[in-house]
Structure 1
Amino acid sequence: MVGDVLLDEDVRGGARRLSPDGPVPVVDVEETRRRAGGAGLAAGLLASAGHEVVLVTVLGDDDAGTRLRDVLTGTEVVAGPSGSLTPVKRRLLAGAHVVARMDEGCGAGARPESTAEMRAALERADAVLVSDYGRGLCEDPALREALRLRAAAVPVVWDPHPRGAQPVSGVAAVTPNAAEAAALTGTPADDCRTATRAAAALLRTWPAEAAVVTLGGEGALALERGGLPLFAPVHRTAAGDACGAGDRFAGSLCAHLAAGAPLGRATEAAVAEAAAFIAAGGVGAPAQETAEHGLGTSNSLDARLETVRAQGGTVVATGGCFDLLHAGHARTLAAARRLGDVLVVCVNSDASVRRLKGPGRPFVPQEDRVALLEALACVDAAVVFEEDSPERTLERLRPDLWVKGGDYTADSLPETELVSRWGGQTVTVPFLPGRSTTSLAAARQAAG
């Protein structure tokens, strides 16, 4: 991990009145949270996801630099002197809303030089993420030569900055966001089509093997040199603090490339992990994220449901085998989603389906059933359970509403009593008669 480090401070409080001096909220400060920003944040996020990380950077010799060193204690740091004031980015938040941002020492400073110890740390890296925040470290000739040599041996991902340095030759991928890609190329990058043109322009200019343009809540566009563009969508968009999502994406991409994944698969995984990071609360969440990804993972899904409840929303759940998706399933799921703010589908595992339906089932393995369900716009997450009944999963999720098709009655559902224990309710929705997996399977068998 190489790059510029900043000190990020979040000043948080409640805002319940306007200032008499002007139409601005008065924030009653309750706490100040500090964390490493820039390459420091990217390193911390990679470490919290279970990766061994060494941060190669420069640090200022001032009070802010001391505070920055204090928050970097959980990461191995190999640092030289920056020769400049430590940049501080301070956000003022009223609740979850950013009211203002105040920057200190973020202007141009003396260009730092790498030390022999910093360059030596790169030689033992299995992969390198360069997080360039335009502070000059990535312009150092000796460091650039060390990065060029390492790029010939291991994946190097370069997260660029419009005021930063050009990537060295041989990097596996550059990862600008849409605004950065537009600033670097003069080409808008607002959607898949325009991002493709911006990525192609970057590859004409920079000696990188691929360009991956992140598109916020839409996903990312990846273009390999000489290849076709690949769009990796966000399957489940989550509202939340997006601060640090770009660092989480770049770090994830680097980690998956280091593990041998091709660019397309690494991009898809990085998009999912960045989305899960936001759903789990972003930089304001406790350091509990794992290397898993997707809203169906335990930590991120639980955090999403907590957010929905904190905002007064309704959590809806339904369940079943969903072996062969049909119109009856689609109608039930769409109706269930309209009853609340988030819909979680509890899905029988393959072993559970075999016990319930017989040795010839399921027709579709659980991983594919989950993927099909989560591809539906009305489904926010799908969770696999191993038992014959989803009761243990429901105890964890504690939905406000448990929804089933209208062919069930409350008495025929063993989950009804369980859901009522925490104040939940069982609801049925209309179903389409004659639509079932069994009838589909029979029709397929009759057709040969």
Structure 2
Amino acid sequence: MTGHQPIVVVGDLLLDEDVAGDATRLAPDAPVPVVEVAGERRRPGGAGLAAALAARDGREVVLVTALGTDPASEAVRGMLPPGVRLAELPLDGCLPVKSRVLADGQPLVRVDRGGGVPGSPGPAVHRALREARAVLVADYGQGTVAVLRQALADAARRVPVVWDPHPRGRPPVGGARLVTPNEREARWFCGEREREGDDSLRAHSRRGALLAERWEALSVAVTLGCRGAVLARAHCDDPLYVPVAAGLDGDPCGAGDCFAATAATVLADGGLPPEAVGQATEAASAFIAAGGPASLAPRAALSAARPPAPVAESGDVQGLIASVRAEGGTVVAAGGCFDLLHAGHVQFLENARRTGDCLIVCVNSDASVRRLKGPGRPFNPAADRTRVLAGLGCVDAVVVFDEDTPEALLRRLRPDVWVKGGDYSVRDLPEAAALREWGAQTLVLPYLDGRSTTELARRAACASP
């Protein structure tokens, strides 16, 4: 497989609408809250949300779904992000629309309308499945997956297939690499119609193993919300439990799509199910903490919504900067990919820290690393690189940026000293002009000779059996 093969998302596309506002009184004619609308937001839902999430780090994604000529279909076509390419089936009817009314961020009611019947797939659909690096199935029971069942069974014999099931949809095809029901869905598929019952991790893993056997799936991850996820296999008594690193507080809508999309990208890159579930759990938690689906919306889409932060941060970076400067100290920033952290990186960061009173490390995001280093990079996702860097005693904070250069981030942080490692010339750095605007000093420190990520990767490849 080549790095140019896309992840293919197959499933039912929906139009999601949120009407958000405040509720401070009840209606005079009925004991129901009155919502003072502050804003409205529309976005692709169902398989469309899964595709948008899979494309967040710059990957090519093909969305195989049914669309018609109705207003909802036309609206969703224009909402899909640039990284998502459509391979359409005809839709006889209207695209389903799911509308939520939220008060103070909490859903009050949901109204569903529309629906249609998918037609036969054309050559573009079959070509997309043949060329897939991995397939994510988002089955919301609207018929798209049923039409493509045989093609999905064929795909499962060639590439990793992640199946996000729904009680209204079809069971997964045999050979799926990973199936991702949530706790409620797992109970339903196991024939437990009541929510009450054994809620232990052992019971959840037992349900996962039963479903893996029934569906002939390699593995099943039962997602448990704020408790994390349990990964199980058929006829296996050693399930893997993946806890959530931090408490969840936010809109959980779409978290399952984020979990499945992240798992599909990990498997597409050659990862194993345990690795996929670990990264998917972290990604879903971060998605909820960032505001759920609202974090993907354009800034002008909902006037009352706070726009998503342009960077991911560890700690209160602005608070750190203010406290250091209040004491007359020097703020130092250093940058790099830090893909495989080695002794050269550590020496560089320790030396950078010695030039001032705090050290903020600016790290390229996964998409940024991929653009700079090419397919197959980074070896470690940004969440892992950030966690390792933040654990170093010389590092006070870590900030992730998505651009090719840290210029925009540096304009926000305005450090007193900017440090780069390697054989750069200060005047050749693309961010040099920005640093001169506020009189920052730029330093270039050498890495430890003989240590490099590329060399570590080459030696590891040579040592592989």
The bucket for the TM-score relative to the shorter chain is 0.5 to 0.7
Q: Deviations over 1:5-40 (max 9, x none)?
A: 100001112223322122322112222111011000
* Matched residue count: 329
Write the distance in 2 (CA, Å) between the matches of 1:199 and 1:239. Answer: 26
| CA pair 259-15 structure 1, distance change in 2 beyond 3 A | same
| 1:75-94 alignment, distance < 5 Å | 75-94=84-103
1:206, distance to aligned residue in structure 2 (A): 0.7
Residue 156 of structure 2, aligned match among 151, 159, 163: 151
Q: Secondary structure at the match of 2:311?
A: helix
Please state if 1:60 is matched with 2:65: no
Residue 384 of structure 1, aligned match among 372, 385, 390: 390
Task: Give the partner amino acid of 1:117.
Answer: A
Residue 205 of structure 1, aligned match among 206, 214, 219: 214
Q: Deviations over 1:242-270 (max 9, x none)?
A: 11100000011111111111211111111
> In structure 2, what is the equivalent of residue 71 of structure 1?
79
- Check the 8 A contact 1:132/1:161 in 2, yes or no: yes
| CA pair 93-392 structure 1, distance change in 2 beyond 3 A | closer
Please state if 1:26 is matched with 2:38: no
Please state if 1:254 is matched with 2:264: yes
The answer for unaligned runs of 5 or more in structure 1 is 289-296, 319-348, 359-373, 375-380, 398-448
Please state if 1:299 is matched with 2:329: no
Higher RCO structure (Cα 8 Å, ≥6 apart): 2
Write the distance in 2 (CA, Å) between the matches of 1:124 and 1:391. Answer: 41
Residue 238 of structure 1, aligned match among 234, 248, 252: 248
1:353, distance to aligned residue in structure 2 (A): 9.0
Q: Deviations over 1:279-317 (max 9, x none)?
A: 1121112469xxxxxxxx983447x979xx9xxxx99x9
1:85, distance to aligned residue in structure 2 (A): 2.1
Please state if 1:35 is matched with 2:30: no
Please state if 1:113 is matched with 2:120: yes
- Check the 8 A contact 1:178/1:189 in 2, yes or no: no
Write the distance in 1 (CA, Å) between the matches of 2:89 and 2:389. Answer: 47
State TM-score, norm by structure 1. Answer: 0.65
- Check the 8 A contact 1:15/1:27 in 2, yes or no: yes
Identity %: 42
> In structure 1, what is the equivalent of residue 108 of structure 2?
99
State TM-score, norm by structure 2. Answer: 0.63
Write the distance in 2 (CA, Å) between the matches of 1:356 and 1:264. Answer: 36
Residue 168 of structure 2, aligned match among 132, 151, 163: 163
Write the distance in 1 (CA, Å) between the matches of 2:397 and 2:129. Answer: 50
| CA pair 104-24 structure 1, distance change in 2 beyond 3 A | same
Q: RMSD of the alignment, in Å?
A: 3.7
Write the distance in 1 (CA, Å) between the matches of 2:36 and 2:294. Answer: 19
| CA pair 354-207 structure 1, distance change in 2 beyond 3 A | same
Q: Secondary structure at the match of 2:213?
A: helix
| CA pair 117-390 structure 1, distance change in 2 beyond 3 A | closer
Q: Secondary structure at the match of 1:283?
A: helix
| CA pair 389-147 structure 1, distance change in 2 beyond 3 A | closer
Please state if 1:48 is matched with 2:56: yes
- Check the 8 A contact 2:156/2:175 in 1, yes or no: yes
> In structure 2, what is the equivalent of residue 3 of structure 1?
11
1:179, distance to aligned residue in structure 2 (A): 0.7
| 1:263-278 alignment, distance < 5 Å | 263-278=273-288
| CA pair 115-94 structure 1, distance change in 2 beyond 3 A | same
Q: Secondary structure at the match of 1:87?
A: strand
| CA pair 121-388 structure 1, distance change in 2 beyond 3 A | closer
- Check the 8 A contact 1:132/1:160 in 2, yes or no: yes
- Check the 8 A contact 2:15/2:42 in 1, yes or no: yes
Q: Secondary structure at the match of 1:154?
A: coil
> In structure 2, what is the equivalent of residue 224 of structure 1?
233
Write the distance in 2 (CA, Å) between the matches of 1:73 and 1:352. Answer: 38
Q: Deviations over 1:388-419 (max 9, x none)?
A: 574998x999xxxxxxxxxxxxxxxxxxxxxx
| CA pair 88-190 structure 1, distance change in 2 beyond 3 A | farther
Write the distance in 2 (CA, Å) between the matches of 1:161 and 1:189. Answer: 22
- Check the 8 A contact 1:280/1:301 in 2, yes or no: no
| CA pair 352-21 structure 1, distance change in 2 beyond 3 A | farther
Write the distance in 1 (CA, Å) between the matches of 2:284 and 2:41. Answer: 22
- Check the 8 A contact 1:46/1:53 in 2, yes or no: yes
Write the distance in 2 (CA, Å) between the matches of 1:170 and 1:55. Answer: 21
The answer for unaligned runs of 5 or more in structure 2 is 1-8, 299-308, 324-344, 355-382, 400-409, 414-465
> In structure 1, what is the equivalent of residue 374 of structure 2?
none
Task: Give the partner amino acid of 1:158.
Answer: W
Q: Secondary structure at the match of 2:39?
A: strand
1:220, distance to aligned residue in structure 2 (A): 0.7
Task: Give the partner amino acid of 1:153.
Answer: R
| CA pair 243-390 structure 1, distance change in 2 beyond 3 A | same
> In structure 1, what is the equivalent of residue 368 of structure 2?
none
| 384-393 vs 18-27, which moves further | 384-393
1:70, distance to aligned residue in structure 2 (A): 2.2
| CA pair 201-220 structure 1, distance change in 2 beyond 3 A | same
Task: Give the partner amino acid of 1:63.
Answer: P
